[in-house]
Amino acid sequence: MANYRNKGGVAVIELNNPPVNALSFEVRSGLMNALKRAHDDKDVKCIVIHGKGKNFSAGADIKEFGGTKQQKPWITDACRLADESSKPVVAAIAGTALGGGLEVALFCHYRIGTPSCRVGFPEVQIGVLPGAGGTQRLPRLIGVKHSIDMITSGRHVMAEEALKLGILDKIVTDDIIEEGIQFAKSVVGIDVGGRILRNRKVEDAGSKVFDDEISRVKKKYKGYIAPLFCLKAIQASMQLPYDAGMEQELKLFQQLVSSGQAKAQQYTFFAERISARWQLPSGANSQTASPLPVKTAGVIGAGTMGAGIALCLITSGIPTVLVEQDQKFLEKGVKTVEGDLRGSVALKKMTAEQANKAISVLKTSVNLEDLHDVDLVIEAVYENLALKKEIFAKLDKICKSKTILCTNTSSLDIDTIAEATKRRDKVVGTHFFAPAYIMKLQENVYGKDTSAETVATVMALGKRIRKVPVLVGTCDSFVANRMLHPYATEALFLVEEGASPYEVDQALEDFGMPMGMFRVSDLSGLDIGYKVRKEAAKRRGIELTSDTRFVNGERVCLLANVLVEKGRLGIKSGKGWYNYGSPGKREATPDPEVLDTIEEYCRKYDIKKRKISSQEILERMQLAMINEGFKILEEGIVSKPEDIDIIWIYGFGWPKYMGGPMFYANEMKLKNVYRKIRDFHQNYPFSIHWTPSKLLARLSETDLPISKWTSLINSNSKL
């Protein structure tokens, strides 16, 4: 809907669809009618368009894209009269003017904004392109080069930059509506002809610019089709007259909007928001619980993870005390933090001033007592239960009674750690992913006594430090690593059976994963998994050797151990599954020595090798992990499939244009997924991960959409 009022000869039109004023059918119709009314009203001398509440408009209503056809009037129909009006039309922008919202503003003759407003064309992020003239009008306003940058990246442009680029005509500091009215009055009587973007010419940037951009975009947004379509549409603005360019844009938009990538990316957009709405088994949830304030924080352990976590906190302006066991470790950790900050400045991700500000809020210590006054502590010491319990017991005595105690453990039981304290309600897992400063996922793990207030606090903290927080329950390895286990195990079995590690990685990278499994292992260090496997086996009373082929009747492959025992630890030693030339180098080359080692291993155990297709590689790795995902859902470790998808997208780089593994399974049709898993179970009876999930079996008999899967778990039906 759009509201209309005449304020002393100024028609004030309000886009009314809070919270973000998405341009739904009602808003588009309302805007069209309001513009007509202003156009027809002789008393009206000028027109102001603004948004109700905090935002101008976040663009088209994405929910409407699911249908077959967008109902008319489209944004272009709604805005036609703004373009044609001889009365000046001013867009008064507060909050965001994104996508179709910015397109509305580009139909206006003038644009003013508040100092904190943001404009942009984020359509690429949901798999489409600006389809209401954005690709034709922006180049007419700011030129081809800047338009390519804004439209293919989808980035938000802040007010200052928008003013410099010429998107905004003025930044105003008082009430945006009043400022809009005053501005509009001030331009009454000035001919609007020169302000109408459709009448302008696009400068000829030459075709080479586009050839270069195609290569850049293909590399930077590997696998995504929308950025390439954006380039085609922008090129049309240069090559065609306005109306023909608009037709071309619409054609490209319609091709994209019906693509699988658009569907998956839009699913991801909403999944992220659904996942943010958490719920505990007690019923307490994100609507009912309030977070505690976190004014100061502490991090214990300044190793790989602790240094990165401290960096996340200080760059978000949270004063942090970093505690180590001794001065030597502390200095090493601080060097890492400083080095990463310098790296960010060099990469222009932050200014030197921002880096200095961050380091100024970091305090360091070798004494846990220095955490007595902080609001929240994140422990990131070695993965050792006794050590963690000892630290939590001490923290319980040292810290204020309200302080929340978090652990970055990647596998240990949260409840056991909480038992070391008298504040079990304030103990929670905050599982970050390496490198902690870069990876967006924050897997928050609640224990049986963790309070809703504690959960609300760590979920809010995640958002504040620019992570994507997802809430999961406690179980061995939690969700991300638990699902990774069958995925990685299948990769090793595939190698035993005949695929090379390089073929496995190629298949995964062609699918869209940023790195294959074996390259990731080399990056993390093969010795880490080696130690974890040995210790986990020891806890179960088993001595693992590289000759171990079965553990308690279950098939295992310890080829990675064989490599470690040959001194191949991954990037750190210059060789692992790949050869890197020398330690620390990143360029991976396939290594014949590794292939010989695999040959020898297979001969030793009389394993028959065969040719394995990339389809089989993907199916076995992905379906093994998806089956585990259904088990996690059926156990209630997560409350919805969207949580799993967001974990894989932000924890492991699953491509957004594939929507996450559970969405992917849904697209494959669950009856096919179930059938294939059952077949693998028959063919590989010694792998427990192929035991089909009961929930999957039940769901495969229904046509329930992904958004309704959990209704089957929550219903009384027995699984």
Ligand X SMILES: CCCCCCC[C@H](O)CC(=O)SCCNC(=O)CCNC(=O)[C@H](O)C(C)(C)COP(=O)([O-])OP(=O)([O-])OC[C@H]1O[C@@H](n2cnc3c(N)ncnc32)[C@H](O)[C@@H]1OP(=O)([O-])[O-]
What are the catalytic residues?
Answer: 103, 123
> Please, which residue, 437 or 657, has the CB nearer to ligand NAD?
437
Torsion sign, CA atoms 657, 661, 663, 668:
positive
Residue 469 within binding range of ligand NAD, rule CB under 6 A: no
Residue 489 within binding range of ligand NAD, rule CB under 6 A: no
Dist. CA 27–CA 49, nearest whole Å: 12
Q: Minimum Å distance from CB 365 to ligand NAD? A: 10
Residues in 255-274 at the binding interface with ligand X, rule: CB under 6 A: 270, 273
Question: Can you name the residues that pair with 430 across neighbouring β-strands?
Answer: 444
Q: Which entry of ligand NAD, ligand X, none binds 434, CB below 5 to 8 A by partner kind?
A: ligand NAD
Residue 405 within binding range of ligand X, rule CB under 6 A: no
- Candidates 286, 409, 579, 627: give the one binding ligand NAD (CB under 6 A): 409
Residue 245 within binding range of ligand X, rule CB under 6 A: no
> Please, which residue, 103 or 527, has the CB nearer to ligand X?
103
From start to end of 164-230, where are the E strands? 170-171
Q: Minimum Å distance from CB 608 to ligand NAD? A: 36
Dist. CA 610–CA 493, nearest whole Å: 12
Residue 430 within binding range of ligand NAD, rule CB under 6 A: no
- Candidates 33, 254, 259, 304: give the one binding ligand NAD (CB under 6 A): 304
Q: Which entry of ligand X, ligand NAD, none binds 633, CB below 5 to 8 A by partner kind?
A: none
CA 227, distance to chain mean position in Å, is 18
Give, for 46, the enclosing helix (H) or strand (E): strand 46-51
> Please, which residue, 652 or 709, has the CB nearer to ligand NAD?
652
Q: Which entry of ligand NAD, ligand X, none binds 324, CB below 5 to 8 A by partner kind?
A: ligand NAD
Residue 434 within binding range of ligand NAD, rule CB under 6 A: yes
Q: Which structure tokens are listed for 707?
A: 């958004």
What is the total count of residues that contact ligand X (CB under 6 A)?
A: 28
Are 282 and 325 in contact by the 8 Å Cβ rule? The answer is no
Block residue for tokens 């294939």: 676
- Candidates 149, 161, 370, 383: give the one binding ligand NAD (CB under 6 A): 383
Residue type, 347: L
- Candidates 44, 226, 314, 381: give the one binding ligand NAD (CB under 6 A): 381
Residue 302 within binding range of ligand NAD, rule CB under 6 A: yes
Instruction: Label each residue of 366-416 as H, E or C.
Output: CCHHHHCCCCEEEECCCCCHHHHHHHHHHHHHHCCCCCEEEECCCCCCHHH
Binding mask 583-622 for ligand NAD (x = CB under 6 A): ----------------------------------------
- Candidates 31, 75, 90, 559: give the one binding ligand X (CB under 6 A): 75
> Please, which residue, 252 or 314, has the CB nearer to ligand X?
252
How far is the CA of 89 from the CAs of 42, 163, 184, in angstroms?
A: 15, 18, 7
Closest CA to 404 of 428, 420, 381, 380: 428
Block residue for tokens 């806890």: 539
CA atoms within 13 A on the CB side of 70: 25
Are 479 and 496 in contact by the 8 Å Cβ rule? The answer is no
> Please, which residue, 159 or 307, has the CB nearer to ligand X?
159
> Please, which residue, 22 or 94, has the CB nearer to ligand X?
22
Are 27 and 49 in contact by the 8 Å Cβ rule? The answer is no
Dist. CA 529–CA 552, nearest whole Å: 20
Q: Which entry of ligand NAD, ligand X, none binds 61, CB below 5 to 8 A by partner kind?
A: ligand X
108: DSSP letter: S
Residues in 649-668 at the binding interface with ligand X, rule: CB under 6 A: none
Block residue for tokens 């904190």: 116
> Please, which residue, 59 or 462, has the CB nearer to ligand X?
59
Q: Minimum Å distance from CB 224 to ligand X? A: 15
Q: Sort residue 396 into left (φ over 0), alpha (ψ -120 to 50) or beta.
A: alpha
Binding mask 41-70 for ligand X (x = CB under 6 A): -----------------xxxxxx------x
Dist. CA 144–CA 154, nearest whole Å: 15
Q: Which structure tokens are listed for 130?
A: 């600006």
Residues in 327-346 at the binding interface with ligand NAD, rule: CB under 6 A: 329
Dist. CA 267–CA 523, nearest whole Å: 31
Give, for 92, the enclosing helix (H) or strand (E): strand 89-93
What is the total count of residues that contact ligand NAD (CB under 6 A)?
A: 25
How far is the CA of 459 from the CAs of 322, 424, 431, 481, 567, in angstroms?
A: 21, 18, 12, 20, 41
From start to end of 165-291, where are the E strands? 170-171
Which range binds ligand X by CB under 6 A, 27-35, 91-99, 332-340, 641-649?
A: 91-99
Residue 113 within binding range of ligand X, rule CB under 6 A: no
Dist. CA 99–CA 109, nearest whole Å: 18
Torsion sign, CA atoms 118, 123, 129, 133:
negative
Give the SS3 label for residue 370.
helix
Binding mask 15-54 for ligand NAD (x = CB under 6 A): ----------------------------------------
Binding mask 116-145 for ligand X (x = CB under 6 A): ------xx--x-x-xxx-x-----------
Q: How many CB atoms lie within 10 A of CB 117?
A: 25
Which range binds ligand NAD by CB under 6 A, 94-102, 156-164, 404-412, 590-598?
A: 404-412
Residues in 611-630 at the binding interface with ligand X, rule: CB under 6 A: none
Q: Which structure tokens are listed for 18?
A: 């809070």
- Candidates 78, 117, 197, 305: give the one binding ligand NAD (CB under 6 A): 305
Interface with ligand X (CB under 6 A)? 19-20, 22, 58-63, 70, 74-75, 96, 98-100, 103, 122-123, 126, 128, 130-132, 134, 253, 270, 273
Task: Using CB under 6 A, list all residues that contact ligand NAD.
Answer: 300-306, 323-325, 329, 380-383, 387, 391, 408-410, 431-434, 524
